Amino acid sequence: MEPRTEVLALIPARGGSKSIPRKNIRPFFGHPLIAYSIAAALAAETVTRVVVSTDDEEIAATARQYGAEVPFLRPVELAQDDTPDLPVFLHALQWLAENEQYSPQIVVQLRPTSPLRRVQYIDQAVHKLLLQPEADSVRAVIEPFQNPYKMWKIDSDGFLKPLLEIGVPEAYNLPRQMLPRVYWQTGYVDAAWSDTILQKHSMTGERILPLVLPSSEWIDIDSEEDWKRAERLLESGELTWDDLGFEPDHYLHLNW
Q: What is the pLDDT of residues 173-218, one digit of tens each?
A: 999 888 889 999 998 999 999 999 999 999 999 999 999 999 888 8
pTM of the predicted model, to two decimals? 0.91
pLDDT at 70: 97
CATH class of the domain whose range is 7-142+185-254? alpha beta
Q: What ranges do the domains of the chain cover?
A: 7-142+185-254, 144-182
Per-residue pLDDT, averaged over 51-73, amounts to 96
The H or E element containing residue 12 is strand 7-12
- Per residue in 215-240, is it b (16+ CB within 10 Å) or e — as a string? eeebbebeeeeebeebbeebeeeebe
Which residues in 167-242 belong to E strands, given as ranges? 184-193, 208-212
Burial class (CB in 10 A: 0-12, 13-18, 19+), 18: exposed
Q: 245 in the Ramachandran plot: left (φ > 0), alpha (ψ -120 to 50) or beta?
A: left
**pLDDT higher than threshold 80 for residue 34:** yes
How far is CA 126 from each of CA 6, 9, 24, 115, 170, rounded to the nearest angstrom? Answer: 11, 11, 25, 19, 41
Rounded Cα distance between 48 and 45, Å, is 8
More confident residue, 123 or 76: 123
pLDDT at 153: 95
**pLDDT higher than threshold 90 for residue 81:** no
